[in-house]
Amino acid sequence: MAAADDIRAEALRLRFDAVGFARAHLAPEARDRLGRFLAEGLHGDMGWMETRADQRAHPQALWPEAVSVISLGLNYGPETDPMESLAWRDRGTISVYARNRDYHDIVKKRLKALGQFMAQRFKHQPLKVFVDTAPVMEKPLAQQAGLGWQGKHTNLVSRSHGSWLFLGEIFTTLDLEPDAPERDHCGSCRACLDVCPTNAFPAPYRLDARRCISYLTIEHHGPIPEELRPKMGNRIYGCDDCLAVCPWNKFARSHAEPGFLPRAELNAPRLAELAALDDAAFRQKFSGSPIKRIGRDRFIRNVLVAIGNSGDASLHPVAQSLCEDANETVADCARWATERLAA
C-alpha cells in the first residue's frame, strides 16, 4: 500500500472522519489575507496572532523540515438544533463545542496515536502534531488537502459534515501525494452572513473578530463594548449561529463521540445558578471543559450580559447581588444588567 493510503486507513480506524494531504506550503492568497486581517486590527486583543504571524503564514517557518501536511477532521455534529435555547431567556446558551469535554484533548490523543503509528511504520521520518493552539492556518491547509472549503462564514465547510468539523494536523518529512483542493460551493447563498447577530462580517469570507460573540465571550478580557451587549442575547460561551444555518449541514450526521455528548447541566443552564458560582465552584463545575479556561470572572461577565438581556424581572436581584463584586468588570456588567432590567 502507498504511504498515503496506509495513513488514511489508520486515521479512519482511529475514528477521524476526514483526512487529506497537502504540501507544507500555503497559497500566497491565504498569507496575504492573514496579513490584511492583522493590519486592519480585526483580531482585536488576540495579540498572539501577530507575534508568530510569520510562522502562521509559512508552515516551513514553523518547522523547516516539513514536506507534507496531513489534515484531519473530527465530526462534532450536534443531535439537536444548537439555536433552540436562544429563545429561553432565563437560560444560557453554550456553543455546541463546549457542552462537554475539551475537544483539544480528544483530537490531540488521536493525532498522537496516528503519529505513533507513523513513527513505527516509517522509521526516521520526524513529525509534529498540531491542534488549534500552534501558529498554523488550519482552515486554508484543510482546504488545500481537500477536506472542504472556507465558506463565507470563514470556517471550513465539508460536503459530508457541513460546518461541524474540528481540525488538526500532522506535519511530516514524508513526501505524500497531495489531494486535490476542494473548491467553493457557497454559490449565491448568504445565510451565515445574514444571521449574524452582531454584523461581524464586513464582507463575505471576512470576519471582524472584535464583533464576533465567540471572541467577545471567550477571548476578550475586560468589559464587553456596551453597544454589542444587547445583540448577544443569552449566548454565554461562543456562538454557533453562522455555522448552524449553513444549508450544507443537511448532509451532516450527528457525532459518535461520547466525549462530545452534552453534559446535562451544560445544556441551557439556568442563569441564576451560574451567577452564584464563586471561583472554587466555577472550577469544579467546569473541570475538563473548555469553559474552565476563561476563568470565573470572564464567565460571570458573560452570564450578566445574558441576564441583562433576559427581560426577566426575577433576575434583577441576582444582578444586583453582583454590583459590588471584587472584580471590576463583573461589577460593571452587573450594574449594566440591573439598570437594564429596571428600565
Q: Which residues are catalytic?
A: 132
Q: Looking at beta carbons only, is 79 or 328 nearer to ligand B12? A: 79
Distance CA 333, CA 240 (A): 23
- What is the b/e burial string over 289-316, where b = at least 16 CB atoms within 10 angstroms of the residue's CB? bbbbebebbbbbbbbbbbbbbbeeeebb
Cell of 322: 453582583
Distance CA 218, CA 299 (A): 8
Candidate residues 23, 33, 58, 255; the one interacting with ligand B12 per rule CB under 6 A:
33
What region does 206 belong to: left with phi over 0, alpha with psi -120 to 50, or beta?
A: beta
Q: Within 79-98, which residues bind ligand SF4 (CB under 6 A)?
A: none
Q: Looking at beta carbons only, is 6 or 44 nearer to ligand B12? A: 44
Write down the least CB distance from residue 196 to ligand SF4, Å: 3
Site for ligand B12 contains 77 (CB under 6 A):
no
Site for ligand SF4 contains 246 (CB under 6 A):
yes
Q: Looking at beta carbons only, is 23 or 340 nearer to ligand B12? A: 23
Residue 20 phi/psi, 5-degree rounding, is -155, 170
In degrees, rounded to 5, the angle at the alpha carbon of residue 73 between the alpha carbons of residues 259 and 123 is 105
Write down the least CB distance from residue 36 to ligand SF4, Å: 18
Q: Looking at beta carbons only, is 126 or 223 nearer to ligand SF4? A: 223
Q: Looking at beta carbons only, is 111 or 207 nearer to ligand SF4? A: 207
Distance CA 123, CA 114 (A): 14
DSSP state of 105: H
Site for ligand B12 contains 186 (CB under 6 A):
no
3-state secondary structure of 261: coil
The entry of ligand SF4, ligand B12, none that residue 247 binds, CB within 5 to 8 Å by partner kind: ligand SF4
Q: What residue spans of 52-92 are helical by DSSP H?
A: 53-57, 59-62
Binding residues for ligand SF4, how many (CB under 6 A)?
A: 25
Asked if 215 contacts 198 with a C-beta cutoff of 8 angstroms, the reply is no
Candidate residues 75, 95, 302, 310; the one interacting with ligand B12 per rule CB under 6 A:
95
The entry of ligand SF4, ligand B12, none that residue 276 binds, CB within 5 to 8 Å by partner kind: none
Query: Of all residues in this chain, which one has the CB nearest to ligand B12 in the complex?
Result: 238
Does the annotation place 156 within a ligand binding site? yes
DSSP state of 50: H
Residue 72: closest CA among 155, 142, 174, 160: 142
Can you say which residues are annotated as belonging to the binding site? Answer: 56, 132, 156, 167, 186, 189, 192, 196, 212, 214, 239-240, 242, 246
By the criterion CB under 6 A, which residues form the site for ligand SF4? 151-153, 157, 186, 189-192, 195-198, 200, 207, 212-214, 239, 241-242, 245-248
Binding site for ligand B12 (CB under 6 A): 30, 33-34, 37, 46, 95, 97, 131-132, 136-140, 150, 153-156, 165-167, 184, 205-207, 209, 212, 214-215, 219, 238-240, 242-243
